[in-house]
Structure 1
């Protein structure tokens, strides 16, 4: 198979879609006759690309403008490569592939991932005329792919709301790397942070309202009554940090909350292994939604039980009562009860953590995800003609 991957988000940028795309392409490069990536140009991209086992063509544009200003690059690569399939990390670049298919006569099929936010975000929000035009354009371009691969049932539902029939959707949940995220002794970090004794509750994520960190803070006073030696460790950066720090102070729990700031991906497993439980009670704040939640898999791969909110794609990331627990969103009382139950039930925490690790090793890993998606790519390659109506 000749495969062209088109993405607005790619290394050296850091983020969920960047991880998703990079992990998949590394594995597809071992199977494909030829695989190539088209991505926006970024500082230090050249040195990063030189280390990759597959070619990357950089369009001279920033990520959000790749669907328009990157069009000549995409058409040129389609004409030269004549790919059997183009895989899109986001729907916005689909129009370029459809146009390239018509201009070049290339028979390529089009497969598009779906994550969540991109199906709700509208850059013209607040401008009714332009907003409706953008929504109409999105619905039109979503007719282009032969197959969609949403990362959760929730994201598949968003596609259905945009007019994509279920027959063109194949849900393939995200994965993680269980060799990188694995259980080990993190006591040296605990000692350096002054957390050698007591229980540790962990959140890893961008500090924005959607992550529900404020819900956890509101729940903590009740949890501390039962687990007085608890420390809540928050890893990540974002615009909500000042508000969250003030909230912790107002609730009288500031001494029990540690904001660790940015932590490099290479060091994240140590933080996960320091924790007794992981929590991220996200809420929906459209267009900002939790389409899946890879951090739950990362925690689980380290043998740490997770608690998340029953919203968005989180129920696909946490297998309730198997790898973690679910609570209603924006419900500090329910979260406090669940946290207290988990942190005071070592047998339950151990069982959930062991099952979460097993799930990561056997299913929720990038090797398994890449194989599932490869099967989708292979299935559309064998269709007689493009099935999408655009």
Structure 2
């Protein structure tokens, strides 16, 4: 480990809003702090949040908040960028060693402006990283080229950046997101959730994700109908919210399986481990829709950290989170028969579930804990400062 660094993290999504960017930024910051570095986070203040403009927040992290309106996506982002600039230029840049942007476009634009003064690294996640128009491609290519390095969270995301944004592959380093194993681990008792939901002795499937088309919930529900033919007492728990909520509720009713499906909506992140612990297997079957795809699938890693076998689809970076036949099964997107068969195979074989769960947990502990991820990111920081 080298000298202690002063790091500015810039993001356009952060707690209390839940999402990939929020989770990544918060956990990376905590892990870097544990390694002795000083963090300064520039993040949105949401209308519903009472966070002050500059406070010590969860984990003792120093967060500078900038108001971000909830609607009008393009105008919202421009407004956020405009309000961020005075905060950015008031940062004690003389004390900052480097800048790490953990969300593209708006925060990346700000980081690019500051790159003339400090080294600049950017993390790219996946579906939201890819340009949808020519001007977005031009902007993103400019941002990426201004950075010292691009961290891609999966090999798939790295290939998409090279293909879609025309960036040289040598500029990209693949470092996945990590898992907080103090929160997600095999010691958690799932009987608490099973008792509360009155599903103590039933086979339980679990999905966690935003209710949007690319997550493929309609295929999971259709596959679950076939699972019920073999395991009529099985229960399918879906955690998350989104624009497809009503459609998926209606689909469950149309399929005649609503009595066995529990839509729990969004829940507090600190309660999630209990639901992972309560399930027999974790199921998420994303599909690629145009430019929208699964960059990696952090929820797969969280479930694996809780010792659960996984079932997913061969799309985006999801097939990197699941090693087929080792910690779970990978099937083709939209393959309802294949999804159902993978789930049934696991429900029929307790030893297989246990073995796959143990392998998944071991992989997380050996390579994907946040402290290990932070060590790899830290190495990039030192390389940037030595250039």
User: 2:175 aligns to what?
Assistant: 172
Question: Which of 42, 50, 64 is the matching residue for 1:44?
Answer: 50
What is the deviation of 1:272? 1.0
Alignment match, 1:325? 329
- Residue 118 of structure 1 pairs with residue 128 of structure 2: yes
Residue number in structure 2 paired with 1:308: 312
CA shift, 1:294, in A, is 0.8
Residue 98 of structure 1 corresponds to which residue in structure 2?
A: 112
User: Which residue is 1:387 aligned to?
Assistant: none
Q: Secondary structure at the match of 2:60?
A: coil
Deviation at residue 27 of structure 1 after TM alignment: 2.0
CA shift, 1:70, in A, is: 1.5
Q: Say if 1:50 and 1:33 are closer, same or farther in 2 by CA, change over 3 A.
A: closer
In the alignment, is residue 58 of structure 1 matched against residue 71 of structure 2?
no
Q: Secondary structure at the match of 1:55?
A: strand
Provide the C-alpha distance between the structure 2 equivalents of 1:135 and 1:322, rounded to a whole number of angstroms: 38
1:236-275 superposed matches below 5 A? 236-275=240-279
How well do the aligned residues superpose, as a CA RMSD in angstroms? 2.0
Q: Is the 8 A contact 1:181 1:301 kept in 2?
A: yes
Instruction: Give, in angstroms, the shift of residue 259 of structure 1.
Output: 1.4
Deviation readout 1:337-388 (Å, 9 max, x if unpaired):
11111111211111001111112222221111111111111111111xxxxx
Q: TM-score of the superposition, structure 2-length normalised?
A: 0.90
Does residue 200 of structure 2 align to residue 193 of structure 1? no
Q: How much has 1:46 moved relative to structure 2?
A: 2.4
- CA distance in structure 1 between the aligned counterparts of 2:56 and 2:366, rounded to whole angstroms: 32
Which runs of no fewer than 5 residues in structure 2 stay unpaired? Answer: 70-75
Q: Is the 8 A contact 1:112 1:149 kept in 2?
A: yes
8 Å contact kept, 1:75–1:97: no
Cα deviation for residue 60 of structure 1 reads: 4.5
Question: Could you tell me which residue of structure 2 aligns to residue 154 of structure 1?
Answer: 156
SS in 2 for 1:50: strand
Matching residue of 2:72? none
- Aligned pair in 2 of structure 1 residues 197, 35: CA closer, same or farther (>3 Å)? closer
Counterpart of 1:19 in structure 2 is 23
Distance 1:56 1:136 in 2: 30
Aligned to 1:88: 101
Residue 202 of structure 1 contacts residue 278 of structure 1 at CA under 8 Å; is this kept in 2? yes
- How far 1:121 sits from its partner (Å)? 5.2
Counterpart in the other structure of 1:292: 296
**Structure 1: stretches of 5+ with no match in the other structure:** 123-130, 384-390
**Which of 210, 219, 223 in structure 2 is aligned with 1:219?**
223
Q: 1:172 to 1:185 in 2, by over 3 A?
A: same
What is the Cα deviation at residue 112 of structure 1? 0.4
Q: Say if 1:91 and 1:142, in contact at 8 Å, map to a contact too.
A: no
1 or 2 for the larger relative contact order (CA 8 Å, sep ≥6)? 1
